[in-house]
Amino acid sequence: MIRIENVTKSFDDIKAVDNVSVSINENIVFGLLGTNGAGKSTLLRMVAGILKPDEGTVTIDDRKVYNNTKAKRNMYFVSDTPYFFANGTPMDMLSYVANQYPDFNKEKYVEYLNTFSLAPGRKINTYSKGMKRQLALLLGICSGTKYLLCDESFDGLDPVMRQGIKSIFAKEMDERGLTPVIASHNLRELEDICDHVGLLHRGGVLLDKDLEDMKLNIQRAQCVFKSEEEEKKLKEKVNIVKEEQSGSLRTYTLRGTGEEIERAFGEVETIFFEVLPLSLEEIFISETEVAGYDIKKLIMG
Amino acid sequence: MTSRSSSWVDLRENNKRRLWQWCVALFFLVIMNVISFLISVMSINTESYTLTYGARAREMMEKVVRGYAESFMGVSGLNIFYTALIAAILGIWGFAYLNDRVKIDFYESMPAKKGRRFSVIWVNGLVIFAASYIVGMLINYGILTAAGYGNVFSMGEALQAFFILLAFFAGVYHLAILSEVLTGTTFITVCAFVVLSCYEIIMRGIVIMLKQDFFDYVHTMSGDLLPAISPYGIFGYVLNDLDDTGSMMPHMLYLIVFDLALLILVYVLYHKRPLEAAGKTIAFKGLKPVLKFLLTIPVGLFVADIVYGILKDSSKNTFKASAITIIVTVIASILVSALIQGIFEQDIRLAFRKKLNWVLGSVAALLIFFGFRGDWLNIDRYVPSPSMVNSAVFIPQGYDGKYTFLDSDLDMLDMEEFAVRYMHLTDAGTVCDITRLSMDRYDKEMEILGEGEYPESGMFEYAVVIFRLKNGHTMSRAIQVPVKDETVTDLLDTLLSSKEFKDGYYDFNRFDIDEAISMTTAKNLDARYTDGVWRKPLTVEETIEFMDLYMKDIEDISYKDRLEEYPKGHVIFCIDTRDRYDRTMEYDIPVYPCMKGCAEYITKKGLDTETMDYKDEITGITVTNYHNKETDEYYNSLGEDEEPDDEILNSLNTTVFYDVDSIDQIVPYLVSNEVYTYRWDGGKGVEPDYSVQLSFNSEGQIGKELAGYIPTYAFLEGEVPGFVEEDTSIR
């Protein structure tokens, strides 16, 4: 487990990360969301042991990570701008990274390179931006580490590649319990891949929730009541997050499971009633609006 | 787990990243060095040497090849330059990843210990230099052997040079790494390296400048500019040791210890360096004010000295000069401080922040400047007590007509270099007394002059005194010695007559004079004796005999012996030196009557013309009295706008004596102007007012030899015949 406890980091007069506490369980895909400058990269670089927190602690499996090779051996960091040796090839990178990570799976690496049509002997500086990101991710995946920290690594990947990487994640999670931590400023990038999401804003954590829980516990319902009395009755039975009205059509965002909502509507008289699924984006909008933020401005890139 | 094999893989991987650094090292240390050496060796034309030197051709060629081998395989200027350049490149660019966030993210997230990463890069730098150097050296050695000169430069010498250069390399390499870990961008790193390399020498230069401007007695020795706490300075000392006959081990050890200390410092700083410093100017925030302070001071001092120097010369108002100096220094300090702040912030708009730094920088510069000006620490007039002195050096500038000297290996040295190397005066009491008395007399003289009066002093002669203190330090004073002062003369007699002084001042006993002269004979020894009229050549044997006698005479005579004498002639000859420029050293040795061995030898050999015995050949003596004193007094008596009267000025009187009686009376008092040389000791000189010319019968022996040349003579001080004085007085 990655445990981030009361971590603060400042650069000169700017507080990049302010008293952040997040725990990342094993064998999940953790999404770290936030606008540019929210502190995602700084937090990930602290988790990667590159930066030393000014305050607080970052531990990986109960080992402090800064300056600790044992802790770092469990983690691979894919930077937002991955570095490759000048004139290096994927095989040169393999040679170096495999020397650092004893569990590096060379066969799998070559296999993945072929799968993604990345020529092992071709110079990396001739690769496209997306190919470089794929290569960086493949190096991380094959390093054999338990945790894979990806800083904006999915930006620029085409849907096919995303799906490919996603499949590999699923496979690795299944086979050896890989825990990818993916930072992104774009919620849509994470929507279909993450199990758990932390939302960073201005250096602090705004939200830290399991996506399934979030999806299960918030619903949208549309209905037309027979009378205003029925509407009042419903409002006493449910927890309304948001309410919209268009003529006699009411649209509610409600907390609770689908069953609970349906049961509550079953107890009032309606002309029309329907429970609709919410996209992750809509869930975030609702949740952050409750907290007083306009998420559209924050992360809907 | 760090296994040896994974370290090897790391080294190999790091090498791949440093290919261009390999290329630079190989280019200079192998390609350039080998090609230059090959061309040099091939350019030796055996036939030409055989024609010029005959049987000695091989010896001369070996000498030339050895010179080339020293240049390309030894501790030469070329190799020193290559070493420093490569060390800087390897140090800065080896660790340049610290300035790049992308690379930091990659390398620092890897599960490798920082110490291992450091050692891999550090070792690789050493390997790149050492391997390139050794390859170049071996190829050069192969060329040397193949050309048949394997004996002129041994592999041992080549390896010794390599280890010396390696120690120097390590120092510069660590300085470059230090620049890297202290800064955050490559441009600033390069600037920092230049500043770190030059800082001490600049500070020393400024301090020397201030000393020269404000101190009368503190003397700057040639080695004073050498920094003692930088690899360049310490290496300079090692080079001096290499030139000397002494051991270089102490300075080599110092250099190695310095290298190690610097290595520990950079290792610690490498670990402490915050990685977010990449892209910033200075990695350690706390260093910023310190650096600013350290950079502002030399600029402030330099400006203060220049401004004060200009104002002091153009205005007699010291207060005004000081006030303007303060204002300009403060402005300069603020501007420098602001500039550095702007660089730190990477935004010139933020330059005028941190105003407290302005105050500190300006105040420090002004305190140091005025501290020098007023000699607040009493540095200038300080003379150590004899009990503190281990040994001393006393260098009377130009005493006995000597300014350049030859070392035991016939290398040419200046007076200070020679004396520092060989003079060890244990009579520190006398040296201290001379120094103090000279300072006192000179101060008094200046005081009188300052009051607008003309002192009745004797003459002052320049000398340098160096004290080797028991605490290991050396201090030097430049003094004006009142050589006419009786007390000082007695002290000088004690000091300059001592064996210790002669051992450290006369270079003839340092080398084999027979060998030196015989070496010169290959180019025809130009040795001659002159008494002002004749120039009689000396053979090689005569020169060697004369020099043997001269060395004995020098041993026997005292300082005072010559004071009342005037040289009867000079022996002049040249020796080919063995210094790197193959210069020729000319010796001009005055022969005084008290130097009995030499004087008798000259007479015995008939080298004296004994011109004065040929009175019959003299047809006339022209004596001119310039009346210098009267002319000076006349000039001084003139008002500001008053024109001098030509009649009075023309009152200098020239009289020609034709009669035999007068000639007979004048001749014994005459000395040749040609044998008169500058005398540091203030000994017997000539009357400055009189000039004498002898005219010889053109048909006589001397007249024929002179072939129209008219020799000039003078009267010794206070020895002008009365009738001459009378006949040439102002009428």
Question: What would the mean pLDDT of A70-76 be, rounded to a whole number?
Answer: 93
As a whole number of angstroms, the distance between CA B492 and CA B344 comes to: 59
On whether the CB atoms of residues B454 and B440 are closer than 8 A, the answer is: no
pLDDT digits (tens, 9 = 90+) for B367-425: 999 999 888 988 888 999 999 999 999 999 888 878 888 888 888 888 888 888 899 99
Sort strands A239-246 and A270-276 into parallel, antiparallel or unpaired. Answer: unpaired
Paired tokens of B680: 């540091």
Report DSSP state, residue B96: G
Angle at B419 between CA B418 and CA B424, to 5 degrees: 135
What residues of chain A lie within 8 A of the CB of B276, using their CB?
A: 11, 51
Q: Are A152 and A81 in contact (CB under 8 A)?
A: no
Q: Is B3 on the interface with A (CB under 8 A)?
A: no
Do A2-210 and A217-299 show the same overall fold?
A: no
CA atoms B340, B345, B347, B348: torsion sign: negative
CA separation, residue B719 to residues A282, B117, B176, B624, B652 (Å): 122, 86, 70, 15, 19
| Alpha carbon distance B203, B215 (integer Å) | 17
Pairing of strands A204-210, A196-201: antiparallel
Contact A100 B13 (CB under 8 A): no
The pLDDT of residue B151 is: 87
Q: Is A294 a residue whose pLDDT tops 80?
A: no
When the candidates are 3.30.390, 1.10.10, 1.10.357, 3.30.70, the CATH number that belongs to A217-299 is: 3.30.70
State what percent of residues in chain A have pLDDT above 70: 95
Neighbours of A191 (CB within 10 A): 16
Q: If pLDDT is split at 50, 70 and 90, which confidence band does A101 have?
A: very high
Task: Average pLDDT across each block of 10 residues of chain B; the chain has 731 residues. List them in order.
Answer: 65 88 96 94 89 82 90 93 97 94 92 91 96 96 92 91 96 97 93 92 88 87 69 88 74 94 97 91 89 91 90 73 90 90 83 80 91 88 93 91 84 86 93 95 84 70 94 90 93 95 87 79 68 77 90 93 86 80 82 91 76 72 84 77 72 80 86 79 85 85 79 85 84 62
Q: Is A100 on the interface with B (CB under 8 A)?
A: yes
Residues comprising chain A, all counted: 301
User: Which CATH class for the A2-210 domain?
Assistant: alpha beta
Local structure of B18: helix, strand or coil: coil
Q: Which two tokens stand for residue A281?
A: 């984006």
Q: List pLDDT tens digits, range B505-561.
A: 988 878 888 888 877 755 566 777 777 766 778 888 888 899 999 999 999 999 999
Q: Please, are residues B241 and B247 in contact by the beta-carbon 8 Å criterion?
A: yes
Distances (CA, A) of B468 to A250, B96, B215, B393, B414: 102, 45, 20, 8, 19
Token digits of residue B149: 């000169």
Is pLDDT above 70 for A65? yes
Closest CA to B680 of B445, B424, B462, B456: B462
A132 vs B contacts (CB less than 8 Å): none
Paired tokens of B385? 């007590």
Which tens digits make up the pLDDT trace of A202-224? 777 777 888 778 777 888 899 99
- For the residues A9-37, what does the mean pLDDT come to? 87
| Minimum-distance CB partner of A85 among B6, B16, B276 | B16
Q: Which of A72, A88, A95 sits opposite B111 (nearest CB)?
A: A72
Q: In degrees rounded to 5, what are phi and psi of residue B273?
A: -60, 125
Cβ <8 Å between B275 and A92: no
What is chain A's mean pLDDT, rounded?
A: 87
Q: Name the strands in the sheet holding B460-469, side by side, starting at the edge strand that comes first in the sequence.
A: B389-396, B460-469, B474-482
Q: Which two tokens stand for residue B530?
A: 């002159």
Contact between A11 and B276 using a beta-carbon 8 Å cutoff? yes
Cβ-nearest to A95 among B13, B113, B276: B13
Q: Which residues contact B14 (CB under 8 A, 6 or more apart)?
A: B120, B121, B124
Is the CB of residue B17 less than 8 Å away from at least one CB of chain A?
yes
Answer whether A102 sits within 8 Å of B1, measured CB to CB: yes
State the distance between the two ends of chain A, measured CA to CA, in whole angstroms.
Answer: 30
Orientation angle between helical segments B355-373 and B318-345, nearest 10 degrees: 140
* Residue A210, beta-bridge partner list: A196
Comparing alpha-carbon positions, the chain B residue that sits nearest to A96 is: B13
- CB–CB contact B276 A95 (8 Å): no
Give every CB contact of residue B500 below 8 A, 6+ residues apart in sequence: B423, B424, B425, B426, B427
Q: Which residues contact A74 (CB under 8 A, 6 or more apart)?
A: A60, A61, A145, A146, A147
Among the listed residues B298, B340, B301, B304, the one whose alpha carbon sits nearest the alpha carbon of residue B321: B304
What is the ipTM score, two decimals? Answer: 0.86
Residues 6+ apart with CB under 8 A from A269: A225, A226, A227, A230
A39 vs A34: CA distance, rounded Å: 8
| A52 at interface of B, judged by CB pairs closer than 8 A | yes
Residue B170: the pLDDT is 97
What type of residue is A135?
L
Q: Does B13 contact A at CB distance below 8 Å? A: yes
CA distances to A16, B119, B121, B562 from A51, rounded to whole Å, are 12, 21, 21, 81
DSSP per position, B274-327: -GGGTTSSBSSTTHHHHHHHHHHHHHHHHHHHHHHHHHHHH-S-HHHHHHHHHH
Report whether B440 contacts B446 (CB < 8 A): no
B19 C-beta neighbours (distance < 10 Å), count: 11
- Contact (CB, 8 A) for A295 and A289: yes
Q: Contact at 8 Å (CB) between A252 and A221?
A: yes
Q: Which of B631, B567, B625, B557 is nearest to B597 (CA)?
A: B557
DSSP 8-state class, residue B99: G
pTM: 0.76
Q: Is A99 on the interface with B (CB under 8 A)?
A: yes
Q: Locate the domains of chain A by residue range.
A: 2-210, 217-299
pLDDT at B2: 46
In angstroms, the CA B547 to CA B518 distance is: 13
Give the integer Cα–Cα distance in Å for A153 and A213: 26
Nearest by CB: B114 against A67, A83, A149? A67
CB B244 within 8 A of CB B407: no
CA R_g for chain A? 22
Q: Chain centroid to CA B79: how far?
A: 23
Q: What was the pLDDT predicted at B102?
A: 92
Query: Is B153 strand, coil or helix?
Result: coil
State the nearest Cα–Cα gap between B278 and chain A, in angstroms. Answer: 12
Note every long-range contact of B635-638, with CB atoms under 8 Å and residues 24 or more positions apart, other chains counting: none
Q: Does B279 touch chain A (CB under 8 A)?
A: no
A206 contacts A288 by C-beta, under 8 angstroms: yes
**Chain A residues lying within 8 Å of B102, measured CB to CB:** 79, 81-83
Which of residues 377 through 436 in chain B touch A, CB cutoff 8 A?
A: none
